Structure 1
Amino acid sequence: MNVLRRKTLAKAIQLSLLISLPGLAAAQDAPAPAAANPQATTLDTVTVTGSRIKKAEVEGQVPVRTLSREDIERTGLTSIGDVVQQITGSGSGFNRTRNASGNDGFPSDGGGTGAGSTTVDLRNLGTKRVLVLVDGMRWVNESSASGVGAAVDLNTIPLAIVERIEVLEDGASSLYGSDAIAGVVNVITRRNFDGAQITLNYGQYEPGDGQSTGVDLAWGGLSDRASWFVGASYYDQEEVASKDRARTRDPVFGTGLALGSSRVPGGRFRFVDPRNGGAYDLVTDPTLSNPTYTPGLPNCTSAGADRADGFRCWLASRDAFNYAPFNLTQTPSERAGLFGQFRFDVAENVNWYARALVNRRESLNQAAPEPIDLGPGSGTAFASNVVIPVNHPFNPFGFQLDSSNILTIRRRPTEGGPRLFGQQVDTTYFGTGLEGAFDVGARSWFWDVNASYSTNEAEQENRGSYNIKNIVTALGDPAVCAATAGCTPLDIFGFNTITQEMLAYISPVFRDRSENTLTQATANLSGDLFDGWAGAVSFATGYEYRKYEGSYDPDPQTVRGEYNGVPSLPTSGEYDVNEVFVELNVPLMADSSWGKKLELNVAGRYSDYSTFGGEFVPKYGLRWQVADELMLRGTFAEGFRAPSIGELYGLGTRFDANIVDPCLGSNYAANAANCAALGVAPGQPQFDPQISVETGGVETLEPERSQSFSLGFVWTPSLFENSAVARRVDIEGTFYKHRIEGAIQAPDPQTQLNLCVQTLDPQYCNGIVRNGATDQIESFSNFLANFNVIKTDGWDFDVFWTLPESSLGDFKVSWQNSWVGNYEAVGGDGSRQPLAVGLLVSDPVTRSIPKWQSTGTLEWNLNNWSAAWTARHISDLVESCGDAADFPICRNNPAPGLNRLGSTTFHDVQVGYKFDWMKGLQLLVGANNVFGKDPPVCLSCNLNSFDGSTYDLPGGGFYYVRADLRF
């Protein structure tokens, strides 16, 4: 190494340390070291997502993590979404553990619950802020039959067709348009494939459940002018029932019935007896049949007091309902897909392609038997105004029950079985285009034009739910019921009192439907404009047109307000966008005392939306190749995300949030003056922490606008190259920072209620309406708005180490890390939302942000043998204990009322052998979570007492075998 190069390298190392020390920043060009030529002395590059210029020298300007097919196979997973969710920069997203339907209701973004889907979140900024491409073209958004989704369901893309997955964890709106605030996932399909391949998969969890089976078929060929590839995939994932795991059999692990539901199979009846003015809170005694109410017996001033008439006074720890065993820890899913791609050279420098895909997913969610709520504030006009006359054949109380004396009546008809939500989702895609090149003098130019049409249609069939209008009719005047076709008087007063004849009238099948359609056309041009003083100035430009159409059509009974569950209204809308972009790559310096090359990359995109008008976003990047072994890079970008169809046009829907009312129960004393000003009387208990929150879209929403910054390095020290300790070592680091202004989000309901009580400010209190008799919250409006700011920053740090060749085999070590330094979401009113670094929150869905996530892998190859060991580490989290604050399961650590979820490490192992038969037969045997590590107990997590978007399932490891034959 000459003196000049040593000085240059010294400067580079000093500068890189200055850059990296504040955050030990880390980048994501993971697979590049593995694919690099070990004899090379410069940083090798591959064509990756992050630039529209078709020129290798611009690669490496942005952090891109590439998951090769070998990386994917090493995970033992069979879903693209599951694979991407395991990278260290991924946040919380829907996956196979999300048994959502019937529990979460309808989120405020109008996208539905995403039942059965798998989505990806990057940088903890939400799944809607990640753009998903397939071969560089946008993929259609999900449909779950419960809304118009704004994120992509990666289960609609069969894993069998994937060559690699490129993940850009950087703002890229200037290159790709809306939705790329947090990054881009680009799925590259298999193209140059010659021969055939069959892959068989089987796996199951240690207790013997959750079996998964899969078959992938691939066939392709090459000729002088054409190439083709056909891939078919079938995958069947069976359920894991919550009742089959100790962790998930109880509502909250270790607390028993105390935190169970107040909606019980025998019925809970809170009323005032008009004959004596006594207030009663009764449940049916399961040891006595045919309850007959006797006035004058204890009126339940003492919880749990016994009576002799078939009823007893409510006591939560004895009478609550354990809903957990009815749920699923892993939802069943069956997927089948067929993909074909054909390419043909129509001329010397012109290529035509066509690709098509069909995919079907059938999945199922299961929830506990649907409860029936009657009386004031029960959620619908039918239920709130129920009248059970004195002459009703099953009324045991001897007086008419109506809104004048009912406080609340709750009955969970277990006779009807659990709620079952079955989804059928069909995805179709067709794309075609021309690609070509031409020369202008000595310069080559590249062009392409593309068009595609894709649709995602979902149908959902809901069994085990109820028609509340029919329920009220069957509980009403017997003469009216007798005159109504199919009506049978309903008995809700006791255990196992509802007959099949009664169920036939009150429990129809509900059918919902949703659809998303994307039509797009693009044209691109790229090449070198001219030679500058340090090299050729490269250029790319293009035009893009997109049209989005979406609709959600709930069952007509739901539209009429007759659905006993979470209500919703139809949604439909469309918009289109025209865009142009330009990108320039300008060499500023080459082969000087300051390094090998310095390049400036500038990009800009103008978008014209039919919904809100025009938007321009720029991006600036610097790439400094200081020496052959060291590169520094930095980017600054502005971005935006257009409001989705659901966010704009989603009509009134509802979700149920777990909220602690500051004015009820023991909380009243701390807020007495303000609670009195809100009309709440002291001593009122909170009947149920689950409060129905009304939500919906707003047509006047503005786009979200963002700023993204990254700074990093890639260092391949020559000191270790072909040395005694390594053949090659690559060290990468990136610091990132994102800021979103005007983020589209609904206020956190708990925060809104707390601020209402603390300040009495109408901006918080408007829309929160209490029942005049019980002071319970009867309605809670929580609509979308453009929030003030969401901001986050953090660091990535990765090391890839290829050890020297030895008689023991080839060894490679990779260690990838992500640290989140800060995450903060602030409402437009200045209120701080609860999600933050190191915290887990669960309303409306469970989300967590671990401070540190790390994945380390040791790979070994010797002749035909291969093996890999992977450790996945998640740092500790903190959650609110909520109603479990007084239970030993709550650690009250790091402060009273808080629970610490300890740090967790999962270990995966895989061993393979390749037979020299045909073109190769490879057998793989592996185990994920080989030691059966249980995730930490989560007290606030919906349903199953663990966060399935962050941790593996409890109750044992997952074992699998895979056979792959090529011929």
Structure 2
Amino acid sequence: MLRFLHIPPPHSPSPTPLRLRRLTMKTHAHMALRRHGLAMSIAAALACACGTSAAQNAPPPPAPATQPQAPPADTGQKGTTELAAITVTGSALPRIDVETPSPVTTITADQIQKSGLTTVSDVIRAVSADNSGSIPPAFTGGFAAGSSGVALRGLTVNSTLVLINGRRAANYPLADDGQRSFVDLNTIPSNAIERIEVLKDGASSLYGADAIAGVVNIILRPGYQGTEFSADVGTSQHGGGATRRATVLFGGGDLRKDGWNAYFSAEYQKDDRIKVGDRGYPYNTNDLTRSGGNNLIGGQPSQNSGSPYGTVTPGTLGTPGDVTTGIADPGAVAQPLSACGAGSTLVTNDPNNPGSYCAFNRTRYFDISPEMERQGIYGRFSLKISDTSQAYIDASYYQVRTQFRGPPPQIQASTPNNTNAIALPATLPDGSINPNNPFAADGKAALINYTFPGIPGGGDNKNHNMRITGGMTGSWGDWSYDTALVFNHESLDISTPGLLNYNALVAAVTNGTYNFLNSSANSPELLRALGPTLQKTSTSDLQSFDFRVTRPLMDLPGGSLGLATGLDVRHEEQNDPDLNPDLAAQGLGIAHTKGHRTVSGAYVELDAPFLESLEVDVSGRYDHYSDFGKNFSPKIGIKWKPIEQLAFRGTFSKGFRAPSFAENGSSESEGFATYTPPPEFQALHNNSGYVQPYPLAFLTAANPKVKPERSKSYTFGILFQPTQDLSASIDYYRIKKTGVIGQQSPAAVLDAYYNGQPLPPASSIVADVPDPAAPNALPRPLVVDAPYVNQNALETKGIDLDLKGGFNFNESTRFTSEINLTRIITWVLTLEDGTKLQFVGTHGPYGLSSGAGTPRYRGSWANSLQIGKLNITGTVYYTSGLKLTAPDVAPGCQSTNTTTGDNFPLSCRMSSFTEVDFTGRYDLTEKVAITGSIMNAFDRKAPLDPLNYAAFNYNPTYSQSGAVGRFFTVGVRVKL
């Protein structure tokens, strides 16, 4: 729960505050500096010459004599330097000592500006604790294309609660993988940020559901006076991705003198796309033979992939008149339907493809980064009601448009209708010879692989987010209160072209109305009928009301026993209709979610400073959900400082995650992953193209009986500051969830299918048509159908390390260095049957992480030098490598050369990735500054990752900058 800094006017009586615990610092100026010395666990990205750490680290050294003292937080009031209490995320009670029993990282607006990062998404996803399940904006092939989400502790986006000004926000209208609800970071105002607080601890005892792995609280300015402008441009060294960004912030009115303050913020950012063709090998192709891998390039009959020039093989129709039942003649070989043209290469005598075909690189139609346009406005008006109270209203509207390219559709698809055996008939319905079929004169059908030129692929997603908050804060006697009403509506318009209509395709092949020999001869009307644009609008809504109060109860040796309590009520709705409701479009499964519920909750917190060196905080919350019932979440935290330089802290809490509407509402979803069958199964099919890597569908239905996930969390930390210039903190965490909600194990369903055993209850397999090369062998699975269930348990343990040093060379020169590192010790999922799956250092959990995996280490090291008006920061980011294994899919290496059977690469590993960024700022005058950055300064390439399915041969979640390459930006800041 967040309370803004409250500084009572000097001409009026001050409300009775809590008797805050005694401070050992002696000077008022030092206390003011301590209040603003807030921690940052992404310090590598955000370190600056005056940057400080608190909440996790001990207080910083005083600023050099030539630098002004940090001002109080901007409330639209001027001329005061009084020390004020602040409410830190994870506690509902105001305090001056910002080091709570829980680990909290605070990132200020100034630090964000000096980092070179421009959006909330960039800043939060740079936190070292963000891990498995994080959603990058570059993943346009996912369910939630164009959005961005944070996943602290590697527990995916649905276990990290995102707040704005301490209050909930509406979820993105599309659930990640059709299951996991989350807040889209792209729709949060970034130009109006005062600070971001990242609580890396369970917090359901105050905030309710979803705060299992932690809380990200984006705190916007409570007031502002003045005018600021900024403009930035940037581009990549290797082409594409140019960016333009502009912001404005202005406000007026002194809340103390005038009785009001109002300010307005606007921002605009446009990022051009980076095409796959703009980058070199291996990011621009599916042919990895030069590296020892597979050749999955388009056009190969054995891969069921087509080119615009087509490939045909003589055969017959298994069912006369049914063009989807083609059977190749024994020993028949493929040949191009027409001469290979631009963008293709004739290939003959390929061991896996007897005959010849036109190799065609379909990846060139994809993007490494999509085109994104982000624009929004935010405003706030504050009104002084009395000497001890004020009211406010704020509103924001943000629109984020993501446009991404895709390849033209091809005939071959496995779902929802199998067209891998489609064939051109010898004769048309009127009895005439089919002119598209080169074998028609012999009465033969022609099995065809083909990509339709002239039908564009890709998508256009436009997200609209409107949020209005009205509230009052103040005091009455010993009580301080904070109440607010929130309305948040999010609407997502989705437009998806280029998916073949099954009925139109069959009709065009049967009737010969599509000209396969000369694609330019086909009319626009026919192309639109074959590949119509699918559209839908998905919505998400949240309305909430809360009332919160605090007061001192009694004096203790270390300060006042503080009480905080509050209640809140909210209503949530989601309506995400099917884009493909009648399964008419090929290559697109089912995905719809609909649900609503009302949630009411109440909490209480007691903070007891029994001694100046000992603090105990206890809290608990009761929630009632209209769809599944009630829950109680307690928490206790302790902080002990035996000496001023050393502190120990620890917490224990219970938490829960409410089932999403996708999990217990009226919903089902179907996702796809590139899948390689087991070697034994491949051998039974003679390693034919039928058993090469192909899209496997995972269909999951909601289960009304599914229960909430419940958690127990522990943290223990040590904070040490031997001198004012050196500080360190280390925190250990352990989170155990029971009743983990997930699709009934697809691996168990697949194992039972391959072994001829009964499938697990409520599950099923939809099998493909038999393999033409091995018709008596078990068909490959096309769809794994399993419901959501409460699986047994999940447990993760890890360590966060923060080290910081600052050195003053002279009055105008200061150097700071900070290391932040997160190590995940273990991440184990225990399935219903007792099977334990260890994911640390692997690409698992494969589906939950979009194939991104769970790195063991993520860290950063920042070195910042301030020389007078110049500030330069160099930041090193590190992510450890991953095994190319996915225990939740199948045992063993999941990346192999399917011809030789060898691991690819032989080490079965993705290498680690290290990136270095340089940012700088020079103050030309007190009001004008120029900025610049070189991101990925050493142009490090993203390591090869053939297992991740969010991009071509690299991992965009952790090494997107390695595919983008060296990137330059310059900008100007003007403050009037």
Both proteins in one fold, TM over 0.5: yes
Distance 1:628 1:888 in 2: 64
Q: Which residue of 2 aligns with 1:14?
A: none
Q: Which residue of 2 aligns with 1:506?
A: 530
Matched, 1:460 2:464: no
CA contact (8 A) 1:156 1:361 kept: yes
Matched, 1:129 2:159: yes
Distance 2:793 2:606 in 1: 31
Amino acid paired to 2:797:
D
Q: Which residue of 1 aligns with 2:19?
A: none
Q: Which residue of 1 aligns with 2:387?
A: 348
Distance 1:890 1:931 in 2: 33
Matched, 1:858 2:900: no
Distance 2:279 2:689 in 1: 37
- Cα–Cα, structure 1 residues 401 and 210, in superposed 2: closer, same or farther, change >3 Å? farther
Deviation at 1:379, TM superposition (A): 2.2
Deviation at 1:183, TM superposition (A): 0.5
- Cα–Cα, structure 1 residues 653 and 370, in superposed 2: closer, same or farther, change >3 Å? farther
- Cα–Cα, structure 1 residues 498 and 846, in superposed 2: closer, same or farther, change >3 Å? farther
CA contact (8 A) 1:661 1:667 kept: no
Deviation at 1:47, TM superposition (A): 3.7
> Secondary structure of 2:678's partner?
coil
Q: Which residue of 1 aligns with 2:948?
A: 941
Distance 1:215 1:332 in 2: 17
- Cα–Cα, structure 1 residues 450 and 282, in superposed 2: closer, same or farther, change >3 Å? farther
- Cα–Cα, structure 1 residues 606 and 232, in superposed 2: closer, same or farther, change >3 Å? same
Q: 1:205 aligns with which of 222, 233, 236?
A: 236
Q: Which residue of 2 aligns with 1:619?
A: 635
- Paired-residue identity, %: 22
The CA deviation string for residues 643-696 of structure 1, in whole angstroms up to 9 with x for no partner, is 11122235343222222223765444xxxxxxxxxxx99989416522222223
Q: Which residue of 1 aligns with 2:461?
A: 423
The CA deviation string for residues 606-649 of structure 1, in whole angstroms up to 9 with x for no partner, is 11001100111111111112222222110001000001112223
Deviation at 1:754, TM superposition (A): 3.5
Q: Which residue of 2 aligns with 1:98?
A: 138
Q: 1:770 aligns with which of 759, 764, 767?
A: 767
Moved more, 448-457 or 561-570: 561-570
> Secondary structure of 2:803's partner?
strand
Amino acid paired to 2:248:
L
Deviation at 1:908, TM superposition (A): 1.1
Q: Which residue of 1 aligns with 2:329?
A: 278
Matched, 1:114 2:144: yes
Matched, 1:140 2:170: yes
Q: Which residue of 2 aligns with 1:700?
A: 705
Distance 1:346 1:301 in 2: 81
Distance 1:47 1:631 in 2: 20
Moved more, 129-138 or 531-540: 531-540
The within-5 A match list for 1:45-124 is: 47-57=87-97, 59-92=99-132, 98-101=138-141, 104=142, 113-124=143-154
CA contact (8 A) 1:744 1:787 kept: yes
Distance 1:79 1:162 in 2: 10
Moved more, 874-883 or 956-965: 874-883
The within-5 A match list for 1:241-390 is: 241-246=275-280, 247-251=282-286, 254=290, 258-261=295-298, 262=303, 263-265=305-307, 266-267=309-310, 273=316, 278-279=329-330, 283-285=334-336, 288=339, 303-306=352-355, 312=356, 321-373=360-412, 378-380=415-417, 390=427
Q: Which residue of 1 aligns with 2:222?
A: 191
CA contact (8 A) 1:454 1:518 kept: yes
Distance 1:927 1:684 in 2: 45
Amino acid paired to 2:361:
N
Q: Which residue of 2 aligns with 1:575?
A: 597
Deviation at 1:420, TM superposition (A): 2.3
- Cα–Cα, structure 1 residues 841 and 55, in superposed 2: closer, same or farther, change >3 Å? closer
The within-5 A match list for 1:297-696 is: 303-306=352-355, 312=356, 321-373=360-412, 378-380=415-417, 390-391=427-428, 393-394=434-435, 396=437, 410-417=449-456, 419-439=457-477, 444-476=478-510, 478=511, 489-492=513-516, 500-532=524-556, 535-555=559-579, 558-568=580-590, 570-588=592-610, 590=611, 596-649=612-665, 651-662=667-678, 666-668=682-684, 685-686=690-691, 688-696=693-701
CA contact (8 A) 1:653 1:695 kept: yes
CA contact (8 A) 1:31 1:68 kept: no
> Secondary structure of 1:503's partner?
helix
Deviation at 1:400, TM superposition (A): 13
Gap runs ≥5 in structure 1: 6-26, 105-112, 291-299, 307-311, 313-317, 479-487, 591-595, 669-679, 722-727
CA contact (8 A) 1:269 1:408 kept: yes
Deviation at 1:926, TM superposition (A): 1.3
Distance 2:311 2:692 in 1: 11
The within-5 A match list for 1:152-231 is: 152-223=183-254, 224=257, 225-231=259-265
Moved more, 940-949 or 572-581: 940-949
Distance 1:772 1:115 in 2: 32
The CA deviation string for residues 104-139 of structure 1, in whole angstroms up to 9 with x for no partner, is 4xxxxxxxx111111111110001111111110111
The CA deviation string for residues 186-230 of structure 1, in whole angstroms up to 9 with x for no partner, is 001022322000011111111232111111100122422222221
Distance 2:645 2:383 in 1: 40
Distance 2:894 2:599 in 1: 45
The CA deviation string for residues 527-583 of structure 1, in whole angstroms up to 9 with x for no partner, is 11123465422111110111111101235xx21221223132543210111101111
Gap runs ≥5 in structure 2: 1-23, 25-52, 70-82, 319-326, 342-348, 772-778, 886-892
Deviation at 1:327, TM superposition (A): 1.0
CA contact (8 A) 1:513 1:553 kept: yes
- Cα–Cα, structure 1 residues 95 and 863, in superposed 2: closer, same or farther, change >3 Å? same
Distance 1:252 1:36 in 2: 58
The CA deviation string for residues 55-86 of structure 1, in whole angstroms up to 9 with x for no partner, is 33574211011111122122212111111111
Deviation at 1:438, TM superposition (A): 2.3
Amino acid paired to 2:956:
G
> Secondary structure of 1:804's partner?
strand
CA contact (8 A) 1:915 1:922 kept: yes
> Secondary structure of 1:243's partner?
helix
Distance 2:532 2:620 in 1: 54
> Secondary structure of 2:952's partner?
coil
Q: Which residue of 2 aligns with 1:788?
A: 792
Deviation at 1:782, TM superposition (A): 3.4
CA contact (8 A) 1:47 1:59 kept: no
Distance 2:880 2:362 in 1: 30
CA contact (8 A) 1:114 1:149 kept: no
The CA deviation string for residues 456-502 of structure 1, in whole angstroms up to 9 with x for no partner, is 101011122222122122223x4xxxxxxxxx813457877855453
Amino acid paired to 1:462:
T
> Secondary structure of 1:258's partner?
coil
Deviation at 1:320, TM superposition (A): 5.5
- Cα–Cα, structure 1 residues 790 and 491, in superposed 2: closer, same or farther, change >3 Å? farther
Amino acid paired to 1:809:
T
> Secondary structure of 1:949's partner?
helix
Q: Which residue of 1 aligns with 2:55?
A: 29
Q: Which residue of 2 aligns with 1:869?
A: 874
Q: How many equivalent residue pairs?
A: 861
Distance 1:930 1:684 in 2: 43
CA RMSD of aligned residues (A): 3.6
CA contact (8 A) 1:142 1:149 kept: no
- Cα–Cα, structure 1 residues 28 and 760, in superposed 2: closer, same or farther, change >3 Å? farther
Q: Which residue of 2 aligns with 1:724?
A: none
TM-score, structure 1 length as denominator?
Answer: 0.82
CA contact (8 A) 1:268 1:281 kept: no
Q: Which residue of 2 aligns with 1:734?
A: 731
Distance 2:759 2:175 in 1: 36
